[in-house]
Every structure is written in C-alpha cells, then in structure tokens.
Structure 1
Amino acid sequence: MKDKIYDIVIIGGGPGGIGCAIEASAHKIGNILLIEKTENHSNTIRKFYKDNKRVDKDYKGQVITLQGNVDFFDGTKETTLDYFNDLLDNEKIDSIFNTEVEKIIRNKETDLLEVHTSKGIIQTKNAIVAIGKMGKPNKPDYKIPPSIKSQVGFNLDKCSSNEKILVVGGGNSAAEYAYHLADQNNNVTLVYRKPTFTRLNDLNEDLLNKYNGEEKLRLRMNTDIESLENEEGKVKVTFNDGFSVIYDRIIYAIGGTTPVDFLKACGIEVDEDLKPIFDEHQETTAKDVYVAGDIAFASGGSIAIALNHGYHIVNNILRKRGEIFSFTEKFSK
C-alpha cells in the first residue's frame, strides 16, 4: 500500500465518510480510499438500529438543504443501507475494512501524509477523519470494581437474553439499547438522572413510553447511581434514593467523548472542550487533514449535515488545486 499515492484517504465508513467519498468521486478528484475499522460501512446503523427503524435525513426537525451530490431522503435502516451500498458500488472507491488507523503524520521529505494502519502505511495528499465519538465512551465517576467488569459494558457486544439488565443514560443510544434488550426477552430497567427526557427523538421517546406502559421494560427517572458492588458474582447497584438492586449486567450509554489521543496523533489540535479545531472548510490545524461527520459535531448532528461536510471538504481541496467545478450534477436515490 505504501507504493500507491492516494488523493484522499477517508477514515470512517459512516454517513460523513461515505458523503466525502461520493463527493470526491463525483468530481473525479483522483484515487480515493475509504478505511473502516469494522467489517462493513455504516456500522452504527447496522449494529444499533432495529429492523425497519426509521432513519431521518434531519436531526430533531432541523431542516438542512443538501449541497452536494448525494440526494438522501428519510427512510428505514434497510433502505438507507441499500442506498449507501449502491453509492459505493457505483463509484470507483477503494475500500478496506477491519483495519485500525493509528495515526497520521506528514513525511517532511515527500510532503505527503502517511496514514499508519494495522495493515501498513498509506500515502495520501489529503486525509479526512470521519470517525464517531463512541470510540471512547464516557464512564461514570464512581468506581467499577474489577471483579464485575465483565458484567459492565458500554455497548451490546456481550448481551444475550434472559438477563436482568440495567441500562444507564437518557439519550437515543440508551433508549435503543433498552428496547432492543427488552425484545431479546431480558428484564430491562432504564435509569436516568433527570425527571424527563430532553435528548430523545420522538420515535425513541414514544417507543420507550410504549414499552414502559406494556411492562416490557421499566423506566426509573430522576434517579442516579451511587455505587456498584460485587454481590455473589452479580452487580449490586445502590441508587441515591436509598434502594439497592442486583442485576446480571449493567450497560452504560452516557455519551461519547472525542478520542483526543487519536486526534493528537494525527496532529489535530483540540479546544478547551477537547473538540477538534477546524475552519469553515472542515480543515483542521493539521494541513490537508479534515474532519467530517460525528467527530465534527459539537453535540448532535444530522445525516444531512454530515453529507454536506463532504461538499465543503471537496470544494476546498479543488479550490486549493485551482480547479473550477460545478455542483449541479446529482445522483438520485
């Protein structure tokens, strides 16, 4: 891989990464490579969205006009994956999966960026970091005893069925974890420290209330956790209301933090909130290194905004190259 020089290497196969790849291909920007650490693109949608779950173009009703060459519409999990499959299949985009990226450094002799991966070093003129924030999930302030760490998770990887499970969090990931686990015949409680949900989309809030009303799961609102203990091999949870309950497993979905160490390894500076610093073209403080998608959102963002990141990035790369282009041609879904 070190012998080939790419024009753009994109790290991350979610909507932001796919949008960048399609935009670059539409304008024949040169050799394009998409790197994804899992076995396929759109891993979050594949792993955490239930079958037939609605996928919205916009986030919480914010209407965004798509500026580039991807005409994305509201759909379902299945139609969204099919659409992204078609886009990637129809364009001349190299892809490698099951590949971790360790860092990006500039070779001072060649002035090229070197993307260090688990499968070797890749040379490129431009790099786009389009990873999610969940590579480093938030963890609670209280201690997690080492003896029960195997029963404490931050995703659904080790979950099965017929367990008593506590899900911690009040966002969309927590909601989706909770009702997915309930559908797998688990006894599920969702605990949230606030009296009402403030960050859920309408669909997830309706489903949670429906499942709670049908006693498929239990909502424990306005309650926080004080401590965890090992109780004969299970997780004893003590709440701030004085009650203690024993669970087989506890799943945290309390948000993700920017993977700061990785950003720094790519030469990207972060601000006081540990968010990457970038300009109006999505270019970071590391020359020719851009950010797109989830990593570039201060809070929540839509698929439409992530796709538009590709428009701005490719626009800037072509501007630097002195090329004149038009964004009039569109692909249709």
Structure 2
Amino acid sequence: MDSVYDIAIIGGGPCGIASAVEAKISGIENILLLEKGDNHSQTIRTFYKDNKRVDKEYKGLDSQTKGRVEFETGSKEDVLNYFDALLDNETIDAIFETEVEKIVKNSDGNFEIFTAHKHYFAKNVIVAVGRMGRPNKPSYKIPPSITQRVNFNLDKCSTGEKILVVGGGNSAVEYAMTLSRENIVTLSYRKGEFTRINEINAKNLAYDVKYGNIILRLKTDIESIENEEGKVLVNYKDGRVFVYDRVIYAIGGTTPVDFLKSSDIEVDEKKIPIIDENCETNIKGLYVGGDLATRSGASIVVALNHSNTIIEHINSKNR
C-alpha cells in the first residue's frame, strides 16, 4: 500500500482549499488535495465574468468566517489571487487533472480513493466538490422525442432491454457490466483500445466479452441518433445502423449524485448528502462540505466555515 494521508480532500474550490489550509495550520502535515480541473476554483473561473464581484454576503447566509481562513468581497481576480496565495503559502500536496471516481472505506479503517490511474489512501476524506458538474453530451442532436430513452447515468434504467453504452472510461465499463446482468448490452468506444480504465475493470470486461455477456464494438463512432418507433436508432459513421431500447452516454463529466452513490454516501429525497453537525456522512471519517452539503446553495463563507467545522472535528478525534 502507498503512504496513507491524514486527510484527502476531493475538490479544489473554497471549501477544499480552506480545509487544506485549516488542517495545515492546526498541525496536520500529511494532506492530499485532488482536483479534476487544471487549476483550483473552477466554478469561479468558469461562471464568473472577468472583473465580476464575488460577494461575501449571499442571500442572507452566514457572512462571518469562523476559522483561520478569512474572506472579503472582491473581484473575480482578487479572489483567485487570494486562493493562489493560500495554496502557495502552505506546502500542500495538490494534484490537478485527477478525477476521483469513488471512495471506499476498507476493513483497516482507511479510505481508498479511486482515480483512473492511481489509488490513494487516507485516514479521513473531505468531499468538497460543487454542484455544477454535468455529464458531457454528444456533439450531435438528441431528438426530444427520445430523451426518455437516453441516459447519462443508471437512473431510470429498466430490465430486459437492449442497451447501448457509449464511452471508454471506467464509468462506461462499469455501467455496461452492471447492466449486462439483466439486459442485452453493447459497449461502443470510438478508439481501438481502452487506455483509461483500471486493471480490475479491464480484466472483468475481457471476461464478460469472452463469455458473451457484453457485445464490444471498438473503433465505432456515432454519426447521429433518431427516433425509430419510440426506440433509439443509432447511425454509425461506418454506415452501420442499429436500434436499441436505450442509449447511455458515459463520456465524462459525471455528476455529483453519481459520485455520491458510488461512494455509498447516503442522500435525502433531494439528492443532498445526509450529514451531521460536523459535516460527517453516514460513513465515519468521510465528510461533505460546501454547496453540495446544502439545500439552497452556499456562499464562499459557508464553504469556509464548513472546512473549519470539519477540521475541528477531525482534530478532536485525535486528541
């Protein structure tokens, strides 16, 4: 096993950065921060225009920071520079362009964090991803008449269907293997081999293909899809045409709900993680903070305060 971090933080937004800084200042040294984007604060970078003001007070939410990381209203650039300085001033092991697929608590009490290319291990995990995640969609149009037959996760899938799963990552392979237990499943990938899946999935997929549980179509790119008497007609670029009961796209950009489910984090009827006053989930040592942990969205101050609450609770367990 690789070294075990004291804390692993998933997400490089305000809650994630503040959690890392709070932990470092409190004396916790072995900290890992994983961010799927190529830099921190992706929501601010993406959804705020240049020079747009980022407010401290937001919709009547708490505007007083409680921890060691403070915040004041400023422009987009001011806020990004501030978080840059926080990361630069604290020697935190930050790894970018790394998307976490799921988190599992092992029998030894440590968490195993799954990414496409490597597993990490930690005693505590803080999930600080935002709600803004969306699944990637194909470039061609999805006819409105068959949107109920097109999925981007396993929600609303039935049994006894002829299903096409599109994608070449771990999610696509896992979707196909799960659905193949009660459906006829084809897995389509535009490349000639899988380069982004882990060894376990590669081995299990090879078994399912060998024994006919999954039909595998490599080097197949889709031109368009149409409504064929209520089903999905798929036109491939090589001229072939097939009809399916359902098509599932797993081409990146998985949603937070998918991630929570894969990590066995309990959610309520609105898909909000169920946490206690310490932001701890049903799994001891696994926390959720930031806007993903709230019903009405969160301000930066709320995210910072969540980080303070979580780090204080982790430290209290170590006293």
The correspondence for 2:315, drawn from 310, 315, 318, is 318
Partner residue, 1:121: 119
User: What aligned pairs does 1:133-212 form with structure 2 within 5 A after superposition?
Assistant: 133-136=131-134, 144-145=142-143
CA contact (8 A) 2:10 2:129 kept: yes
Equivalent-residue separation in structure 1 for 2:62 and 2:111 (angstroms): 36
Percent identity of paired positions between Structure 1 and Structure 2: 57
CA contact (8 A) 1:59 1:300 kept: no
Q: Which amino acid aligns with 1:54?
A: R
Equivalent-residue separation in structure 1 for 2:61 and 2:282 (angstroms): 29
Measured against aligned partners, the alpha-carbon deviations of 1:111-145 in whole angstroms (never above 9, x if no partner) come to: 210001123010100001111112237x9xxx941
Q: Judging changes above 3 Å, is the alpha-carbon distance between structure 1 residues 273 and 47 closer, same or farther for their aligned structure 2 residues? A: closer
Partner residue, 2:85: 86
Shift, 1:63, TM fit: 4.5
Measured against aligned partners, the alpha-carbon deviations of 1:214-273 in whole angstroms (never above 9, x if no partner) come to: xxxxxxxxxxxxxxx9xxxxxxxxxxxxxxxxxxxxxxxxxxx97222112212111122
Equivalent-residue separation in structure 1 for 2:258 and 2:49 (angstroms): 32
Partner residue, 1:28: 27
Q: Judging changes above 3 Å, is the alpha-carbon distance between structure 1 residues 68 and 266 closer, same or farther for their aligned structure 2 residues? A: same
Q: Which amino acid aligns with 2:113?
A: V
Is the counterpart of residue 299 in structure 1 residue 277 in structure 2? no
CA contact (8 A) 1:19 1:309 kept: no
Is the counterpart of residue 75 in structure 1 residue 77 in structure 2? no
Instruction: List runs of 5+ in structure 1 lacking aligned partners.
Output: 150-228, 230-256, 323-333
Runs of 4 or more, structure 1, over 6 Å off, are: none
Equivalent-residue separation in structure 1 for 2:44 and 2:111 (angstroms): 30
Partner residue, 2:268: 271
Partner residue, 2:17: 18
The CA RMSD over aligned residues, in Å, is 2.6
Measured against aligned partners, the alpha-carbon deviations of 1:27-60 in whole angstroms (never above 9, x if no partner) come to: 0123111100010000111122111100112212
**Secondary structure of 1:102's aligned partner:** strand
Equivalent-residue separation in structure 1 for 2:37 and 2:255 (angstroms): 19
Shift, 1:294, TM fit: 1.6
Q: Judging changes above 3 Å, is the alpha-carbon distance between structure 1 residues 62 and 283 closer, same or farther for their aligned structure 2 residues? A: closer
CA contact (8 A) 2:99 2:116 kept: yes
Equivalent-residue separation in structure 2 for 1:86 and 1:136 (angstroms): 29
CA contact (8 A) 1:258 1:295 kept: no
Equivalent-residue separation in structure 2 for 1:74 and 1:279 (angstroms): 29
Is the counterpart of residue 285 in structure 1 residue 290 in structure 2? no
**Secondary structure of 2:56's aligned partner:** coil
CA contact (8 A) 1:11 1:128 kept: yes
CA contact (8 A) 1:128 1:290 kept: yes
Q: Which amino acid aligns with 1:57?
A: K
Instruction: List runs of 5+ in structure 2 lacking aligned partners.
Output: 148-225, 227-253
CA contact (8 A) 2:12 2:33 kept: yes
Partner residue, 1:329: none
Partner residue, 1:131: 129
Measured against aligned partners, the alpha-carbon deviations of 1:284-305 in whole angstroms (never above 9, x if no partner) come to: 0011000011211111211001
Partner residue, 2:166: none
**Secondary structure of 2:37's aligned partner:** coil
Partner residue, 1:203: none
Partner residue, 1:43: 42
Partner residue, 1:259: 256
Equivalent-residue separation in structure 2 for 1:299 and 1:63 (angstroms): 13
Equivalent-residue separation in structure 2 for 1:30 and 1:307 (angstroms): 20
Q: Which amino acid aligns with 2:26?
A: H
TM-score, normalised with respect to structure 2: 0.62
CA contact (8 A) 1:276 1:284 kept: yes
CA contact (8 A) 1:258 1:274 kept: no
